[in-house]
Amino acid sequence: MENRNNARTAQRVLIAFVILIIAWGAELVFFYNKIDDVKETCAAMAQKEAETAERLKEMERIAAYNKNYIDQLLKNREFLEMEARSRLGVAVPGEVVIREENSERREPTGR
């Protein structure tokens, strides 16, 4: 009878061990899928970060151009006069301003 109990106990331990291995395998599959999802998310975030860094560089370049342009307007009277004439059509008294038709307005290029 004791052999029979030992055999049943051994079977129960074996069954518990098999169940444990199956559960562990399922857990591994689940977590590997989660790891893949996290890797994809990280890759997407890295791409977005690179794009944002590129946009930041462009904005910094434009800001530097605008700062330089404003400094020139404030410090250089000849530059201010030239810009007022070309962009706004300002003239001194007695001067005639001639404009081309279909002339396009100049936009700062940041150069």
The predicted model scores a pTM of 0.53
Domain that holds residue 31: 2-88
Structure tokens at 58: 């462009």
> Considering the domain boundaries, does residue 94 fall inside one?
no
Summarize pLDDT for 25-79 with one digit per residue, the tens: 888 888 888 888 899 999 999 999 999 999 999 999 999 999 999 999 999 999 9
Top pLDDT among 13 and 63 is at 63
- HEC letters along the chain: CHHHHHHHHHHHHHHHHHHHHHHHHHHHHHHHHHHHHHHHHHHHHHHHHHHHHHHHHHHHHHHHHHHHHHHHHHHCHHHHHHHHHHHHCCCCCCCCCCCCCCCCCCCCCCC
> Considering the domain boundaries, does residue 101 fall inside one?
no
> Considering the domain boundaries, does residue 42 fall inside one?
yes
Q: Measure the CA–CA gap between 65 and 109, rounded to whole angstroms.
A: 8
In this predicted structure, the answer to whether residue 102 has a pLDDT above a threshold of 70 is no
> Considering the domain boundaries, does residue 109 fall inside one?
no
> Considering the domain boundaries, does residue 100 fall inside one?
no
> Considering the domain boundaries, does residue 53 fall inside one?
yes
In this predicted structure, the answer to whether residue 107 has a pLDDT above a threshold of 80 is no
Cβ 59 vs Cβ 110: under 8 Å: no
> Considering the domain boundaries, does residue 106 fall inside one?
no
Banded model confidence at residue 111, pLDDT cuts 50, 70, 90 = very low
Banded model confidence at residue 5, pLDDT cuts 50, 70, 90 = confident
> Considering the domain boundaries, does residue 16 fall inside one?
yes
Banded model confidence at residue 94, pLDDT cuts 50, 70, 90 = confident
* Contacts of 61 by beta carbon, 8 Å cutoff, 6+ apart: 110
List b or e across 44-53, with b for residues whose CB sees 16 or more CB atoms inside 10 angstroms: eeeeeeeeee
